[in-house]
Amino acid sequence: MKTVLLIVALCGAHTFAQPLTLDMTVFAERRTAFMNKMEPGSAAMFPCKPEYLRNGDVEYEYRQESNFYYLTGFEEPQSILLLNPTAERYKFVLFVRDRNQAMEIWDGTRYGTEGAMRILHADTALAYNDFRSAAKQFLSKEGALYYNFNINPQLDLMIRDMFVEGSSDNRSIKNSTSLLAEMRLIKKDGDLALGLRTAVNISAQAHIEAIKSIEPGMSEMEVQAVFEYVYRKNGSPRNGYPCIIGSGPNSCILHYSQNTRAMKSGDVVLMDCAAEYGYYSADITRTVPVNGTFTKEQRVLYQIVLDAQNAAIHLVRPGVSMKLLADAIDSVIGSGLVRLGFLKDKKDVNVFTLHGYSHWIGLEVHDVGSYLVEGKPRPLEEGMCFTIEPGIYVRPDAIDKLKRKSYTEQELSQIRNRIAPYLNIGIRIEDDILVTKQGYENMSALAPREIREIEKLMKEKGVGNTTQ
């Protein structure tokens, strides 16, 4: 009930998106935790993401590198973070763009060195252009340097020149990816409050609005417009990933994102869409009938996918692995497809399921964190956040795949007849699950999944309707 009230407040007609206020103590705690994990005597540098030209003098939308943001909350390009735990005074140093009135007229205000200290609480801040001449004064004479190559090619050249090839200050370069991945994998209150929970809420609300708006004749792109309207209306500056809105045969293309088809009565439309908020991405999929009522075939497949997803969701608690959840999904879908005559053996289920069922979410939609520990499936822990996203896709090439397995011509012919009424139906249901102390929370439960709830919701009008 509480969640519902929050969402109504989020989207109410008289409320407006407020800028996100960052709690800088969360970033300070992360820096301290990271510095405690660093090798004794070492320092760390983090490159910002480079800017990329789209064409002429137009750049692609800029998004800060995730680890850089995780440790600073700073979004500007041309910046370098330096952490030196053994320094007396300057443990947290930022190199940032200088203030520049001429440039700020075009591109907006910059923090500059003063802002980096005042707002981001850097112990000191210097001009980005002075990095080469000034950086070494913040490092001890020796000691390893954490630096991740292949994020910013221009900085890579400088770091190689300063600390690696032929340099008088040749030191061991270490990669910090796994240290940070382990930290980012466990979501704390700060992660949820800084954005993850809101990203999921906004995305669920957008799914509701899209489901209400869908009608035959509308193009997939208009559904995308509904999603993006709700995202922006609620303060999400960008999508967590490109909208996947696949109707009819496009529902069987896993990451279809052209979104150009006109939707027809009798189609399903698969919507894998979610917002980013505070740099966190949700990841939600709903599949609904374009005309508001599932056909018999769509209903049968939908219910199998939903039963499989529920079987997996109900198993979630600390100690179980994603492998156990995937096995539960395979078992429900496999049995369902054998029952329908699509398969003779449930072990062939992946002919129709096509993808994995879970991944971590966080600052990136496919977030960091290893899936194995010592070669074995990793047990879930409180604070981990991941998707459960089973699907069934009845593509014409399923028969070709079965041909390569031990199916006789007669069996293939029977299966061809069985799947004919289901061809080109793709169903995926995807939710965002937080592991709690006792079990789990389905963070995206606000977006309906039950057939009767979806059909009821589709009777309402949404912001995307052309006929009011």
282: which 2 tokens? 């949700």
Task: Indicate the residue among 67 and 444 with the shorter CB distance to Mn ion.
Answer: 444
Interface positions, 143-172, toward ligand GLY (CB under 6 A): none
- From residue 382, how far is each of 370, 371, 435 by CA, in Å? 16, 15, 5
Judge whether 14 counts as a catalytic residue.
Answer: no
- From residue 449, how far is each of 207, 250, 307, 445 by CA, in Å? 11, 20, 11, 8
What single string gives the DSSP state of each residue in 274-320?
-EEETTEE---EEEEETTSS--HHHHHHHHHHHHHHHHHHTT-STT-
- The catalytically annotated residue of 52, 57, 61, 404 is 57
CA dihedral 312, 316, 320, 325 (to 10 degrees): 10
- The catalytically annotated residue of 283, 330, 431, 432 is 283
Residue 230's binding partner out of ligand GLY, Mn ion, none, with CB under 5 to 8 Å set by partner kind: none
Contacts of 82 by beta carbon, 8 Å cutoff, 6+ apart:
43, 44, 45, 46, 92, 93, 94, 95, 135, 138
Residue 241's binding partner out of ligand GLY, Mn ion, none, with CB under 5 to 8 Å set by partner kind: ligand GLY
Task: Indicate the residue among 336 and 390 with the shorter CB distance to ligand GLY.
Answer: 390
Contacts of 108 by beta carbon, 8 Å cutoff, 6+ apart:
none
Closest separation between CB of residue 446 and Mn ion, Å?
16
Judge whether 317 counts as a catalytic residue.
Answer: no
The β-bridge partners of 280 are: 277
- The catalytically annotated residue of 132, 255, 314, 339 is 255
Interface positions, 267-296, toward ligand GLY (CB under 6 A): 272, 283
Judge whether 314 counts as a catalytic residue.
Answer: no
Contact 75, 96 (CB under 8 A): no
Interface positions, 320-359, toward ligand GLY (CB under 6 A): 359
Residue choice 209, 283, 348, 367 for contact with Mn ion (CB under 5 A): 283
Interface positions, 184-243, toward ligand GLY (CB under 6 A): 241
154: which 2 tokens? 């221009």
Residue choice 209, 276, 430, 432 for contact with ligand GLY (CB under 6 A): 430
Residue choice 76, 222, 367, 389 for contact with ligand GLY (CB under 6 A): 389
Taking Cα atoms as reference points, which of 155, 250, 194 lies closest to residue 27? Answer: 194
**Interface with Mn ion, residue 432, by CB under 5 A:** no
236: which 2 tokens? 């999400």
Region from 215-223, 248-256, 308-316, 380-388 binding Mn ion, contact rule CB under 5 A: 380-388
Task: Indicate the residue among 131 and 279 with the shorter CB distance to ligand GLY.
Answer: 279
Q: How many residues bind ligand GLY (CB under 6 A)?
A: 7
Closest separation between CB of residue 391 and ligand GLY, Å?
9
Contact 381, 318 (CB under 8 A): yes
Task: Indicate the residue among 76 and 430 with the shorter CB distance to Mn ion.
Answer: 430
Task: Indicate the residue among 76 and 272 with the shorter CB distance to Mn ion.
Answer: 272
Closest separation between CB of residue 360 and Mn ion, Å?
10
Judge whether 297 counts as a catalytic residue.
Answer: no
Judge whether 255 counts as a catalytic residue.
Answer: yes
Region from 157-165, 171-179, 271-279, 402-410 binding Mn ion, contact rule CB under 5 A: 271-279
Contact 43, 90 (CB under 8 A): no
The β-bridge partners of 29 are: none
Amino acid at residue number 245: I
As a whole number of Å, the CA-based R_g of the chain is: 25
Rounded to 5°, the CA angle 307-313-315 comes to: 110
Judge whether 432 counts as a catalytic residue.
Answer: no
Closest separation between CB of residue 441 and Mn ion, Å?
17
- The catalytically annotated residue of 76, 348, 389, 432 is 389
By CB under 6 A, name the binding residues for ligand GLY.
Answer: 241, 272, 283, 359, 365, 389, 430
By CB under 5 A, name the binding residues for Mn ion.
Answer: 272, 283, 387, 430
